[in-house]
Amino acid sequence: MNICVLDGYAANPGDLSWQAFDALGTLKVYDRTAPGEIVSRLADTEIALTNKVVISARTMDALPKLKYIGVLATGYNVVDVAAARARGVVVTNIPAYSTDSVAQLVFAFLLNICQQVQLHSDLVHQGRWVSSPDFSFTAAPLVELAGKTMGLVGLGNIGQAVARIALAFGMKVLALTSKTAVQLAAAGLSELQAVDAHSLFSQSDVLSLHCPLTEETRSLVNARTLSWMKPTAILINTGRGGLIDEAALAAALADNRLAAAGLDVLSTEPPRADNPLLTAPHCYITPHLAWASVEARRRLIQIAADNVLAFLSGKPVNLC
């Protein structure tokens, strides 16, 4: 079998190995693939792996040898799954490989914002502490998490991991979720309270987004729902950029109607230079890296290889 990775750089920029595929077939890895290069690179390939390269129905029509598409991510919107099924092409994804890493970034944002780590470190390096008349100084209010309310939109693997960490910090946890009290208890989250959207937005000191992007959730955070939030509240998004109306969020931050935002995802990635959040005050942005710890990427590659092995064995798993 010929195996081709269309955009392997994000998962493995050179610090990991693709060795898990050695026994599965002949592997070809491209760092990146432009739309016009897809068909030529997959022409003799039965097994394609993609992270963000889009594989459409038209592309599949030009690839009669293609039997399998493995998405190197949890979201599989880059593949026309219905078209693949109609053509007998198996599509798989990689669920739950980065749960702990994403939850960790939620609290990296939160602790930086509440403790003003970046600000104070910058000031120390600029000489502020050296010239201080006191042994200690603070340049902004510091916030303690214990006793605050964490609100979660979505309660899948990542949302549950964030909830557990929040509870360990002594926070109250609310969630917008379809899970029942019995399911929450089974997940060890009996302390968590399920609430409606207005209660979640209005009561949360921290609101963290962990739901999929659908027509129902697109721009879930908008001018109206932002108006429900406390001016001292913090918004964190490690889910999908489209969950937020970015102009509305930028305006809320500029008008001090929201204390801060921590964002790992934006509506367009890489962002346009005129994205209003790039210049919004108290807006902390990382380049979609929550998933990218060494440990998570190593798991991703191993699970991708395991998915291919299961397919070759006639028992495919993690089907989309």
Region for residue 154 given its phi and psi (left: phi exceeds 0; alpha: psi -120 to 50; beta: otherwise):
left
HSE value, Cβ hemisphere, 13 Å, CA-based, for 147: 2
Q: Which of 37, 144, 191, 269 is catalytic?
A: 269
Q: Which of 210, 240, 297, 299 is catalytic?
A: 240
198 is catalytic: no
246 is catalytic: no
CA 9, 14, 19, 25 dihedral sign is positive
CA distance linking residue 204 with residue 171, whole number of Å: 11
Bridge partners of 2? 26
CA distance linking residue 214 with residue 243, whole number of Å: 9
CA distance linking residue 93 with residue 27, whole number of Å: 19
User: Which candidate, 72, 99, 9, places its Cα nearest to that of 296?
Assistant: 99
CA 32 to chain centre: 21
Q: Structure tokens of 178?
A: 């379809």
CA distance linking residue 2 with residue 257, whole number of Å: 55
End-to-end CA distance of the chain: 22
288 is catalytic: yes
Q: What positions carry a catalytic annotation?
A: 240, 269, 288
